Amino acid sequence: MAAVKETVDAVVELERYKYGFTSDVDTEFAPKGLNADIVRFISEKKGEPQWMLEWRLAAYERWLAMEEPTWASVRYEPVDYQDLHYYAAPKQKEGPKSLDEVDPELLEVYRKLGIPLKEQEVLAGVQGAPKVAVDAVFDSVSVVTTFKAELAKAGVIFMPISEALREHPELVRQYLGTVVPVSDNYFAALNSAVFSDGSFVYVPPGVRCPMELSTYFRINASQTGQFERTLIIADKGSYVSYLEGCTAPMRDENQLHAAVVELVALDDAEIKYSTVQNWYPGDAEGRGGIYNFVTKRADCRGDRSKVSWTQVETGSAVTWKYPSCLLKGEESSGEFYSIAITNGRQQADTGTKMVHLGKNSKSRIIAKAVSAGRSDSTYRGLVSVHPKATGVRNFTQCDSLLIGKECGSHTIPYIEARNGSAQLEHEATTTRLSEDQLFYAQQRGLSEEEAVALLVNGFVRDVLQELPMEFAVEAQKLVAISLEGSVG
Amino acid sequence: MTAQRLDLRDPSSFPSRRVEAWKYTDVRRLLRDTPPASPEAEVAPGGPFAALGGEELAFVNGRCEGFPGIVAKGRGEAPMRLRFVSTADGAGHQPEAAIEVTAGSRLVLLESHEGRAAGYVANTRLKISVGEGASLTRIVLGEDAADALAFVRAEVTLSPGATFEQVTATDGARLQRFETHVSHPGQGASVRMDGLYALSGERHADLTSVVTHAGLDGQTSQLVKGVVRDTARGVFQGKIVVERGADGTDARMAHNALILSERGEVDAKPELIIYADDVQCAHGNTVGTLDESALFYMQQRGLPAEEARALLTQAFLFEVVDRIEHDGAREGVREWLTARL
């Protein structure tokens, strides 16, 4: 009986979205709705320079003139942009001077999320354990950034973008909006007008960032949109690895997350950007969950520069996301490794764009989609080769796995080749989980769910291997949890 | 979006590249108004498949005297030649034809689109139905003028157990599109839908297809290959839809293209839209140029570079030709292609 009880408990535990708690943090809101005054309010709150306010207002004007895109294979209740708070911040009297001054409720949230914010905790850990510097963004503001001093020694700037706007305005101004222009798309324009925080990273020439950088995004307040903005610049010959994790409470309302991430890699620089996206996906009937409408783009400006995107997408009710690379530098290279898992009524339309502008630029795309329940998953990608880009090479592989009769899986890759010397290859397959393999695994004593988790982990292995160690373990568990209840 | 049908009488139906299904074939850029109607004309019997005999039906400038539609009965071996001939400079026409292959029958349809004028606009629409257990082989040759705008849209409805084999071979036009929509009921029906394009100069050819699997155990196989030279542009858009419940579907699609010039262009969009889980679907898509090591090997053995190149290109495209089952049609297409390489 004990074993039965344990199993029941385990299942109950697994069915729960682990990060679905809300925390009672005293929060300051901007009034609902969006207008030029709200944009001014946010800019003033952040103590921004005048040029930044003007930039935001221009973005707001552009946004007003744009229409929400409808081409993605997703359906959702339209967002009422006037019924959202565009700014929510945990209340603090003064900026905290150290972690001890941060609201204990907040620290509790991060403890629950399993994110070590206290540097000593990390240091007290296993000898030689890799260090990770963390920037934690709670609703609209960054609450804490760790290891700043040690990073500064190496010359690396890692801080909330709101702080960077004050301390390094020249750097921010030089690069902000140069990869994703304000008018790039509807959500990018919205983000440009109202973004409140996010991370800023600058790695100076020749520096290999001494530790992984990481940001945890948390939407806590209800009826709030999160609009973070991340800007990472890797100067000549530098290297940085950046991790991003996201969670949100369970609510039966849909919340909007519209982020913009811009990466700039100069000559010989390399950026590795990894995401584990686990926003609340909504319940089994599709109530609630995050709308994840994100613009991520890397500009491989320098010769021999390299950007690698790795994403594990398991959360969100609706995902609309195409981390891309503009391969401008000669011999620059872009990589995209993706796992998208949808269950319940989730919808994901995700993929990448590799735009080859530089001679001998290379790209590689490995996308794995797993759909279960009544979910829908679409891979949408573009590989384009411009007339002057000779010697371009691309390899793309998209595999989809279907679990159950009511899900959908779609593959829409575009190839646009305008140069005779390009070599582009794309292959895609769609199948269901093999009955033979399931049977084999079950025969050897695994339960059906364990067998599914094992096989799916095998299916996505190529991508999991690209994740930094700390994330790989978490992601593997997440894969299993996301598929709970998808069989039988 | 595929619902948008080009109608020459209605300029608002001319799609621009903003319409997703016409992204790579922008009609509006070249055609804004309804062209003047093509006059009546006559042509002598013949056409590219004349040597294969069989009955001939010719639409000249969109007209075919007393055309009742084609109804094929029985399992005769003689092919039927369906010709669409354009003879009026700068004029437009919009022929429509219906073809029915009754249950258990067999038809080999040799269709040619022949340009005998400059700058015409032809918009051909076909409705084809293939009855239970019937078989249709449709070979389409595009021989349009270099400055013509030519569009062919075929809607094919298959019944259970039907066999549909189609090969489209074309050398393009200023703007040319062959579009095929197949409604596939599964249940023993099978589809093979191949294509090839060999383009030079400033020509443009677009092979677009949508196969919708609505029933159990359907099969689809598709191989499209193309070669572009100079500043020509090849477009391939192939969509396979597997509807909910269409389990046991086996669908494979491949598109391979060679760009043999610096400024040639190939745009490809293969799509899999799948709503059933017990399926095997795959597509492959490659764009590249001739293999340097193969060229080197052949030259080492005494072949001049030009000849080696021609031989490799021919071998590349002949893979599609070799899949044509009807002997006469296969050799006819081979000859047609050889003359264009």
User: Each residue of A377-406: pLDDT tens digit?
Assistant: 999 999 999 999 999 999 999 999 998 888
Is the Cβ of A426 closer than 8 Å to some Cβ of chain B?
A: yes
Distance from CA of B137 to the nearest CA of A (A): 28
Residue B75, class by beta-carbon neighbours within 10 Å (0-12 exposed, 13-18 middle, 19+ buried)?
A: exposed
What is the reported pLDDT for B273?
94
Question: Which chain A residues contact residue B286 at CB under 8 A?
Answer: 423-426
Instruction: Choose from B199, B272, B289 for mutation: most chain A CBs within 10 A.
Output: B272
**Cβ separation of A417 and B283 shorter than 8 Å?**
no
Reported as a single tens digit per residue, the pLDDT across A332-362 is 999 999 999 898 889 999 999 999 999 999 9
DSSP assigned state of A197: B
Q: Could you tell me the two tokens for A239?
A: 């290297």
Q: Could you tell me the two tokens for A18?
A: 């682990």
CA gap B13, B21 in Å, rounded:
13
Q: HSE-up of B166 (CA within 13 Å, CB side)?
A: 25
Is the Cβ of A434 closer than 8 Å to some Cβ of chain B?
A: no
Residue in A402, A412, A420 nearest the CB of B261: A420
Reported as a single tens digit per residue, the pLDDT across A406-445 is 899 999 999 999 998 999 999 999 988 888 888 999 999 9
Reported as a single tens digit per residue, the pLDDT across A66-85 is 998 888 888 888 888 888 88
What is the reported pLDDT for A10?
47
What is the reported pLDDT for A215?
83
Residues in chain B: 341
What is the reported pLDDT for B2?
43
Q: Quick check: A134 pLDDT over 50?
A: yes
Q: How many CB pairs under 8 A join A and B?
A: 115
Point out which residues pair with A228 in neighbouring strands: A197
What is the reported pLDDT for A114?
61
User: Is residue A406 within 8 Å of residue A376, measured between CB atoms?
Assistant: no
- Give A126's pLDDT tier (boundaries 50, 70, 90): very low
Is the Cβ of A408 closer than 8 Å to some Cβ of chain B?
A: yes
Q: Quick check: A192 pLDDT over 60?
A: yes
B250-259 vs B219-228, strand pairing mode: parallel
CA gap B16, B28 in Å, rounded:
5
- Give A1's pLDDT tier (boundaries 50, 70, 90): very low
Residue in B269, B283, B289 nearest the CB of A414: B269
Buried b (16+ CB within 10 A) or exposed e, A429-455: bbbbbeeeebeebeeeebeebebbbeb
**Cβ separation of A415 and B269 shorter than 8 Å?**
yes
Residue with tokens 């009921």: B185
What is the reported pLDDT for A217?
76
- Give A283's pLDDT tier (boundaries 50, 70, 90): confident
What is the reported pLDDT for A249?
66
Q: Could you tell me the two tokens for A5?
A: 């009880």
What is the reported pLDDT for A93?
47
SS3 A425: strand
Residue with tokens 């004028």: B117
Range scoring the smallest mean pLDDT among A47-61, A98-112, B167-181: A98-112
Question: Which chain A residues contact residue B247 at CB under 8 A?
Answer: 405
Question: Which chain B residues contact residue A69 at CB under 8 A?
Answer: none
What is the reported pLDDT for A129?
47
CA gap B106, B73 in Å, rounded:
7
A134's CB contacts (< 8 A; 6+ apart) are A115, A116, A117, A144, A145, A146, A147, A214, A215, A216
Reported as a single tens digit per residue, the pLDDT across A21-44 is 666 666 777 788 888 988 998 888
DSSP assigned state of B118: S
Question: Which chain A residues contact residue B278 at CB under 8 A?
Answer: 432
Instruction: Choose from B17, B265, B287 for mutation: most chain A CBs within 10 A.
Output: B287
Show which residues on chain B lie within 8 Å of chain A, measured between beta carbons.
Answer: 20, 244-245, 247, 257, 259-289
Which range marks the domain in which residue A132 is found?
18-321
Parse chain B into domains and list their residue ranges: 11-290
Phi, psi of A317 (to 5 degrees): -75, -45
More confident residue, A17 or B241: B241
**Cβ separation of B264 and A420 shorter than 8 Å?**
yes
State the average pLDDT over residues A185-195.
92
pLDDT mean for each 10 residues of chain B (341 residues)? 75 93 95 95 93 92 84 83 96 95 95 97 96 96 97 97 97 98 95 97 98 96 97 97 94 96 95 92 93 92 92 95 94 94 84
B10-B12-B17 Cα angle (round to 5):
125
Q: Could you tell me the two tokens for A410?
A: 């779609």
| Contacts with B, A 337-396, CB within 8 Å | 387
State the total domains in chain A.
1
Phi, psi of A84 (to 5 degrees): -125, 150
CA gap B323, B246 in Å, rounded:
27
State the average pLDDT over residues A147-163.
86
Question: Which chain A residues contact residue B280 at CB under 8 A?
Answer: 430-431
Residue B186 zone, left/alpha/beta (φ > 0; ψ -120 to 50; rest) = left
**Cβ separation of B281 and A429 shorter than 8 Å?**
yes
User: Is residue A262 within 8 Å of residue A176, measured between CB atoms?
Assistant: yes
User: Is residue B159 within 8 Å of residue B130, measured between CB atoms?
Assistant: yes
- Give A136's pLDDT tier (boundaries 50, 70, 90): confident
Residues in chain A: 488
User: Is residue A401 within 8 Å of residue A379, measured between CB atoms?
Assistant: no
Q: Give the largest CA-CA distance in chain A.
A: 71
The alpha carbon torsion through B319, B320, B322, B323 (nearest 10 deg) reads 120
Q: Quick check: A175 pLDDT over 80?
A: yes
Distance from CA of B15 to the nearest CA of A (A): 17
Question: Which chain A residues contact residue B264 at CB under 8 A?
Answer: 418, 420
Name the CA radius of gyration of chain B, rounded: 20
**Cβ separation of B263 and A431 shorter than 8 Å?**
no
Give the residue from B231, B288, B281 showing the smallest Cα distance to B256: B288
**Cβ separation of A419 and B259 shorter than 8 Å?**
yes
The mean pLDDT of chain A is 83
CA distances from A24 to A63, A90, A104, A214, B113 (A): 33, 10, 11, 25, 73
Residue A429 in any domain: the answer is: no
